[in-house]
C-alpha cells in the first residue's frame, strides 16, 4: 500500500476556485459520519473526485477532462472507473510509481490491442525516433522490429524489469507483446540474459518456457535437439546452484510434458555424468530437488519394469525409500508429511 498525493497539497489549487471548471457542478458523495469503514478523505481527494463524477456524467472529452482524469488516477490508482483511453507515454509515468497496479498495465495492453485490431499499428512502421535507454538489449530491438510502438514497449518493459526483475505484471504484459508481434527470437536472448544476471529469477525461467512453446499450452516440442540443448543448459545452471528450484522444475516440467521418455533416461545419464567430472556430486547431494528426482527415478523403474528380477526390484525400492527418508529426517524435515505421502506411493514388491 502506498501513500499517494500528500506532499504537494499546498501547491494545489482547488477546482472549485478555477475559472476553467466554473461551469461544472461537483457531485459529492455523502459519507455519513456513522457509516461503516468511513475513510478520512483529504480535501484534494474529495474535491477532485467530485469534479470527476461531474465530468464523467456528461462524457465530456476535452483538455480539462484529460487533466482531471490524470490527477484522479494519481490520487486513486485503484479507481478503474477513472481510467481513460490515453496515450501510452502518459500511463508510463504513473506505472513507474505503481508498478503493481493491475489497471494501468491492463490499460496499456488494451491500447496496443486496439491499435492492432484497427490496423493503426502499421502507421508506426518507421525506424525514426526510437529513444533507447542504454539497456544492452535496447539497441538490438530495432533490428527485429521496424515499428516504433513495439520497440518503445519493449524498451519500456526492459527498463521496468531492470527496476524489478520479478515484476509480475510487466512479465505478463511482455508475453502479450512477444506473442502478438512474434518476437520470440529476441525474447530468448532477453530471458537468458535475465537468468544469467540472477539464476533464481523464476519469472525469467517461466519466460524461457513460454518462448519454447510459443505461448501455446497445447504446443508440443518434438525436436530432440531443442530438448537436449535445454538439458545441458539446465544442468549447467543446476551445477552452479543445486538448490535452485527454478532450474529443476523447468527441466523436469519441460521433459515431463514434451518427451517424458527422456526424463529417466537422457536426463538421468547427463546428471550422473556430471558427477564423474569433478567434485560436484557432494554439492548436488545437498539439493532436495535432486533427492526428489532420485525418488521418482526409482519409483519409475519399479512401475515400468514389473517383470524384472526380484533382487533388482528390492534394490530400487530401497533406493526410493532411502531418498524420501533422508529428505524427511535429515535434509528437508519441514516437508516431512509430503515425503511420507510419497513413500506410501512406492509400489510394493512381491
Q: Which positions touch another protein (CB under 8 A)?
A: 1-4, 29, 34-42, 45, 49, 53, 75-81, 102-103, 106, 109-110, 166, 168, 171-172, 175, 200-203, 206, 209-210, 213, 215, 217, 244-246, 249-250, 253-254, 256-257, 292, 332, 334-338, 341
Nearest distance from C-beta of residue 310 to another protein, angstroms: 27
| Minimum CB distance to another protein smaller for 221 or for 349 | 221
Closer residue to another protein in complex, CB, 129/217:
217
CB of 265 to another protein, least distance (A): 19
* Rounded least distance, CB 311 to another protein, Å: 29
Among candidates 219, 289, 288, 301, which has minimal Cα distance to 252?
Answer: 289
Q: How many residues comprise the chain?
A: 350
Minimal distance, residue 284 CB to another protein, in Å: 18
Distance CA(155)–CA(134), nearest Å, equals: 9
Backbone angle region of 245, left / alpha / beta, with phi > 0 → left and psi within -120 to 50 → alpha: alpha
> Please, which residue, 75 or 141, has the CB nearer to another protein?
75
DSSP 8-state assignment for residue 329: I
User: b/e per residue, 129-148, with b = 16+ CB within 10 A?
Assistant: ebeeeebebbeebbebbebb
CB of 204 to another protein, least distance (A): 9
> Considering beta carbons, is residue 146 or 213 the nearer one to another protein?
213
Cβ neighbours, 10 Å, residue 281: 13
Structure-derived torsion over alpha carbons of residues 303, 306, 309, 313, reported in degrees to the nearest 10: 20
Choose between 130 and 264: whose C-beta lies nearer to another protein: 264
Cell of 304: 515400468
Q: Least distance in Å: CB of 134 to another protein? A: 27
Q: In terms of Cα–Cα distance, which of 145, 205, 201, 154 is closest to 176?
A: 154
Residue 148 vs 205, nearer CB to another protein: 205
Nearer residue to another protein within complex by CB, 146 or 206: 206
Closest of 183, 181, 171 to residue 121, by C-alpha: 181
Beta carbon of residue 105, minimum distance to another protein (angstroms, whole number): 8
Amino acid at each position: 500500500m502506498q501513500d499517494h498525493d500528500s506532499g504537494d497539497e499546498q501547491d494545489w489549487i482547488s477546482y472549485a476556485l478555477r475559472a476553467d471548471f466554473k461551469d461544472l457542478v461537483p457531485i459529492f458523495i455523502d459519507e455519513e459520519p456513522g457509516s461503516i469503514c468511513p475513510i478520512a478523505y483529504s480535501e484534494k481527494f474529495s474535491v477532485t473526485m467530485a469534479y470527476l463524477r461531474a465530468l464523467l456524467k456528461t462524457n465530456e472529452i476535452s483538455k480539462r477532462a484529460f487533466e482531471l482524469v490524470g490527477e484522479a488516477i494519481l490520487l486513486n490508482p485503484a479507481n478503474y472507473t477513472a481510467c481513460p483511453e490515453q496515450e501510452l507515454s502518459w500511463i508510463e509515468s504513473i506505472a513507474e510509481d505503481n508498478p503493481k497496479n493491475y489497471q494501468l498495465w491492463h490499460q496499456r495492453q488494451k491500447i496496443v490491442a486496439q491499435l492492432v485490431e484497427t490496423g493503426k499499428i502499421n502507421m508506426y512502421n518507421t525506424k525514426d525516433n526510437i529513444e533507447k535507454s542504454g539497456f544492452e538489449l535496447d539497441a538490438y530491438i530495432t533490428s527485429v522490429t521496424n515499428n516504433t510502438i513495439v520497440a518503445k514497449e519493449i524498451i519500456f518493459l526492459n527498463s521496468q524489469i531492470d527496476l524489478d526483475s520479478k515484476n509480475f505484471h510487466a512479465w505478463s504484459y511482455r508475453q502479450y507483446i512477444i506473442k502478438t508481434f512474434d518476437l520470440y527470437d529476441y525474447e530468448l536472448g532477453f530471458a537468458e540474459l535475465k537468468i544469467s544476471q540472477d539464476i533464481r529469477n523464476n519469472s525469467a525461467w517461466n519466460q524461457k518456457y513460454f518462448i519454447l512453446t510459443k505461448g501455446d499450452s497445447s504446443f508440443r516440442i518434438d525436436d530432440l535437439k531443442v530438448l537436449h540443448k535445454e538439458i545441458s543448459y539446465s544442468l549447467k545452471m543446476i551445477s552452479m546452484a543445486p538448490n535452485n528450484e527454478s532450474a529443476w522444475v523447468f527441466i523436469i516440467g519441460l521433459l515431463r510434458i514434451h518427451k517424458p521418455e527422456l526424463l529417466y533416461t537422457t536426463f538421468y545419464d547427463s546428471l550422473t555424468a556430471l558427477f564423474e567430472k569433478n567434485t560436484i556430486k557432494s554439492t548436488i547431494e545437498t539439493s532436495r530437488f535432486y533427492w526428489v528426482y532420485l525418488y521418482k527415478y526409482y519409483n519409475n523403474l519399479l512401475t515400468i519394469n514389473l517383470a524384472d528380477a526380484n533382487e533388482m526390484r528390492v534394490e530400487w525400492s530401497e533406493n526410493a525409500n532411502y531418498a524420501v527418508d533422508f529428505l524427511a529426517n535429515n535434509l528437508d524435515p519441514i516437508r516431512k508429511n509430503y515425503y511420507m505421502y510419497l513413500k506410501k506411493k512406492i509400489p510394493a514388491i512381491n
